[in-house]
Amino acid sequence: MSKIPAEYRSEKLEVYDSEDNSPKSLDPFKIQQLRRKLDWHLIPLIAVLYLCSFLDRVNIGNAKVAGLNHDIGLTASEYNWSLSIFFVGYVLFEVPSNMCLKKFGPRIWITIIMLAWGAIMMAMAAVHNAAGLLAARFFLGVAECGLFPGSVYLLSLWYTRDELAFRNGLFFSTATMAGAFGGVLAYGIAQMEGVAGLHGWQWIFILEGLPTILLTIVVWYFLPDFPETARFLNEEEKVLAVTRLKVDAGPANQTAFSWKQFRMVFTDWKVYLHMFAYILNATPLYSLSLFIPSIVQGFKFDTLTTQVMTAPAYIIACLFTIAFAFSSDRFRERGIHYAFPTFVGGIGYILLIITKDSSTAARYVSLTVTASGVFASVPAMLSWFTTNIGGHTKRGVATAAIISFGNIGGAIGGQIYRANDAAGGYVRGHAICCGMMMASCVIILIMKYLLIRENKRRDNLTPEEFAREAEGEDLCDHHPGFRYWS
């Protein structure tokens, strides 16, 4: 029998009316109806936005295959730096962007940043030297930095903890679809070489940036801010949406802005472990996303076939990503669903090294295993820290801080695969990524053990110890009644 006082049990599906302190039960059928409504209004829109974001972020790899480097006189080193500099702007402005999202609301803020990055994306067609490309990529990172952490944070304000991984998986899987769709799209756009006097890579930037700008109209009218203000919910649904989140959060249900919670982010050991695990996963993720056209080109395909052949590996990775996300929520578990695909990704890199002189089929299977592991680890990774960090301010700042630090891996990832390694099958790049994935796997398992141990410690508190630890305000997930997902 748990020693936690009943009012702090997060699994308790009963709340108390603030007027007369009478119990009100949450109707499971109404919750199911509400969840279905949320899914239809939130997930498709956020998924499409992230599809555009990721496509605009990594299409430079397709542009390279289509002749970007040759046409503007880009050296191999300058190309690598054009990949990395995107993440400099991205990392520097992520935390301020999440604060702006909280202040102005998702609808206004995401509309602003989409207009900015769509315009920059299309303007990249006009670059004619390395300096212009570097400047454009830096400001593209500044503009795009708000969407991904903002989306992760936004979903955590709409869904309960046992619903987050699957929803994160659904919207993040669009990153794999961006890889698949982007390759096929680039194949078609590259056929426009010479149209209106423009190169194929210029048309890639123009035609892939235009949908982002057009989508801002949809975002402005249809993206909801928070449950209590959503126009697509009636009053009863708004109350239910807010209430079930409070029940799920238990004692960590603080919604007001708090500087104390802001400071707590940077004194919480969990945040730092998540940061290091994230960067070790994000580096291979971004390097693979940016260089997969170059890796596939090394399988002896011609330029146009290379664009198409990036798609099957991404599609299979997408299916694995959704399957692991669903399983993570189904079994209310995060650590193993994070560690296992990370381990598989590491094995995939080993296979890429072993099969570097093998048949094209063997090398492609190895690439598919790698992509499946690298991408499938992400939903559990994103959901783990949003699940275990309580308080709106702390969760928002922690989400931005963790993703911001992790995205330094994007800057590193842009330097891992070097042009002079292509002839040897990029063995050095694969080895670096393998080491990172395996190191991340170890950190994940250590964190899972520490969370299990802390939950057991809280379970065994005496009433006096519990009362002592529950004193104070803005305790968030440090409240002894809060239980971590491991």
Residue range 349-400, pLDDT digits in tens: 999 999 998 888 899 999 999 999 999 999 999 899 888 988 778 888 888 8
Q: Note whether residue 268 is domain-resident.
A: yes
CA angle 176/179/185 to nearest 5° reads: 135
Identify the helix (H) or strand (E) that includes residue 409.
Answer: helix 408-416
The residues, any chain, with a CB within 8 Å of residue 393's CB and separated by 6 or more, are 102, 254, 256, 257, 258, 261, 262
User: Structural domain of residue 85, as residue ranges?
Assistant: 26-227+260-462+474-478
Q: Note whether residue 8 is domain-resident.
A: no
Q: Note whether residue 446 is domain-resident.
A: yes
Judged against a pLDDT cut of 70, whether residue 9 lies above it is answered with no
Q: Note whether residue 36 is domain-resident.
A: yes
Mean pLDDT over 103-124 rounds to 92
Tens digit of each residue's pLDDT (9 = 90 or more) over 323-346:
999 999 999 999 999 999 999 999
- Predicted pLDDT at 73: 92
Mean pLDDT over 76-100 rounds to 86
Query: What's the mean per-residue pLDDT of the chain?
Result: 86
Q: Note whether residue 284 is domain-resident.
A: yes
Q: Note whether residue 18 is domain-resident.
A: no
Q: Note whether residue 118 is domain-resident.
A: yes
CA distance 420 to 440: 28
- Predicted pLDDT at 14: 41
Of residues 39 and 187, more confidently modeled: 39
- Predicted pLDDT at 19: 41
Judged against a pLDDT cut of 60, whether residue 420 lies above it is answered with yes
Centre a 10 Å sphere on the Cβ of residue 256 and count the other Cβ atoms it contains.
9
Confidence of residue 23 (pLDDT cuts 50, 70, 90): very low
- Predicted pLDDT at 21: 36
- Predicted pLDDT at 336: 97
Judged against a pLDDT cut of 80, whether residue 306 lies above it is answered with no
Which CATH number does the domain housing residue 185 bear?
A: 1.20.1250.20
Give me the number of domains the chain comprises.
1
Q: Note whether residue 21 is domain-resident.
A: no
CA distance 285 to 150: 19
